[in-house]
Chain A
Amino acid sequence: ILNVEQSPQSLHVQEGDSTNFTCSFPSSNFYALHWYRWETAKSPEALFVMTLNGDEKKKGRISATLNTKEGYSYLYIKGSQPEDSATYLCAFLGMEYGNKLVFGAGTILRVKS
C-alpha cells in the first residue's frame, strides 16, 4: 500500500511566524512530488512540482525542498500572513504505480492576526 504522510495534521500560528510542514513518501521509484494550496471555497492551486533530489523551489515567501533518497519534502512559509491560511497538500508520483498521483491528507494552517 502506497502511503503519503503529512505532518502535522494542523497548525495554528501567529501572523509573522515562520512555519514548516513535512511530506513523507516512498523513497523508491520516485518520479515527482507536487505541493498544492487549497483555500476554503476555492480550487486547489499548484505551488510546486519537484522532480530532482535536492531540488529547492521558491515562490514569494513559500519555499520547498526535496529529498528523494530518504523520502521527504519540506514546505516552508516565512512570515506567515492570514491569507496563508489554507490546507497544504502534497502528492507523490512513483514510477511503479502507473500514472497515479497519490495525495496526502494535508496540513491545515491557520494564521491568526
Chain B
Amino acid sequence: DAGVTQSPTHLIKTRGQQVTLRCSPISGHKSVSWYQQVLGQGPQFIFQYYEKEERGRGNFPDRFSARQFPNYSSELNVNALLLGDSALYLCASSFPGWANSYEQYFGPGTRLTVT
C-alpha cells in the first residue's frame, strides 16, 4: 500500500508569490493535517481536514488556506510568500476519525524555499 504522498518535493519561490502544495493520504484515511517544520523546532500544526471540513486550525495568518477534495486529497495554499515561510511542509493522514488522538502517518514533505 502506498503511504502518504506529497508533491512537489522541493520548490523555490520568490517573495510575494503564491504556492500550492499537494497531499494524497493513505487509501481509506479521511483525515489530512498540514504541518510546518523549521530547523530546530518540532512540526507546527497548520490545518486539519476531515470529510472535506476544517476540523482544526493553528496559529497561522490568513495567507495560509487549505482544502480537501472528495477523494480526500488536500491542497495547502500560501499567498504573498514571505522569507519566513521557508520550511518543510509535512502532510499527515490518520484513521478512523477526525480527532487528532489517532496516530498520524506522515508524508515525505515539501521543502519550500522563498528567496
Binding site for B on A (CB under 8 A): 4, 6, 31-32, 34, 36, 42-46, 49, 51, 89, 91, 93, 98-106
Within 8 Å by CB of A43, from B42, B55, B100, B109, lies: B109
* Chain A neighbourhood of B106, CB < 8 A: 36, 43-45
A106 to B98, CA, bound (A): 25
In the A-B complex, the 6 residue pairs with the smallest Cβ-Cβ separation, listed nearest first, are A103-B42, A99-B56, A46-B103, A32-B101, A43-B106, A101-B100
Of B12-20, B43-51, B77-85, the one with at least 4 CB within 8 A of chain A? B43-51
Decide if B58 is an interface residue (CB 8 Å cutoff). yes
As a 0/1 sequence over residues 1 to 28 of chain B, the CB contacts with chain A under 8 angstroms (1 = contact) are 0011000000000000000000000000
User: How many A-B contacts if CB must be within 8 Å?
Assistant: 67
Task: Give the dominant DSSP class at A's interface.
Answer: strand
A6 and B92 CA atoms in complex are apart in Å by 22
Query: Given that A43-B108, A44-B106, A45-B106 are known contacts, is A103 also in contact with B101, CB under 8 Å in the complex?
Result: no
B107 near A31 with CB under 8 A, answer no
Interface contact A105-B103, CB-CB below 8 Å: no
Decide: B100 and A89 in contact? CB cutoff 8 A.
no
**A46 B105 Cβ-Cβ under 8 A:** yes
